[in-house]
Amino acid sequence: MEFEPTSIPDVVLIRPRVFGDERGFFLESWAETTFAGAGLGMKFVQDNHSRSGRHILRGLHYQIEQTQGKLVRVTRGSVFDVAVDIRRSSPTFGRWVGVTLSEENHHLLWVPEGFAHGFLVLSESADFLYRCTDFYAPQHERAIRWDDPQLGIRWPLPDGTVPILSQKDAAAPWFRDAEYFP
């Protein structure tokens, strides 16, 4: 596996080795010793799987308590995946990083605690998998507006296209009004 820090070094793009032939492919998506050797020693407690259609945008989500680090990947389709640093003490506070994750590139993204996370489906549909370092706690879930001008996320939407949002995401607060981490 290759571990490549993004423009926000705590967010890491992971490129697994893919072995393929006419029968299909094989890849290792998680190995505790390999990740620990790359400085990513984390313990996972919950796996999640979502399926979404084209132009569905989920996020930007985080838990203010029971914080979750997430190892994310796509097994079908393609998404634009975004992590926003919401740690006040961080030199990259308020910055974001975005990468394309797809069934073709097999990439994974490590999104540590202290980040808001979201994704936009680029393909007809996408299966999105994420391993979490803590359990889902709806009472601690928070969100930030996907289109906040202060963040300036460049979502790859066709001109004139508005993403499909949940009611909760559509009503999310602006970044300036969000709860941050220390």
- Residues 5-45 have pLDDT tens digits of 999 999 999 999 999 999 999 999 999 999 999 999 999 99
Structural domains of the chain, with CATH: 44-177 (2.60.120.10)
* CA 104/CA 44 separation, integer angstroms: 25
Q: How far is CA 178 from the centre of its chain?
A: 18
Torsion of CA 111, 36, 130, 133, to 10 degrees: -80
pLDDT of residue 153: 98
Known active-site residue 136: no
Catalytic residue among 106, 117, 130, 180: 130
Please write the tens of the pLDDT for every residue from 83-137. Answer: 999 999 999 999 999 999 999 999 999 999 999 999 999 999 999 999 999 999 9
* pLDDT for position 155: 98
Name the residue among 69, 11, 2 with its Cα closest to residue 42.
Answer: 69
Query: For tokens 């994974």, what's the residue?
Result: 108
- Given 61, 106, 107, 117, which residue is catalytic? 61
Active-site annotation holds for 61: yes
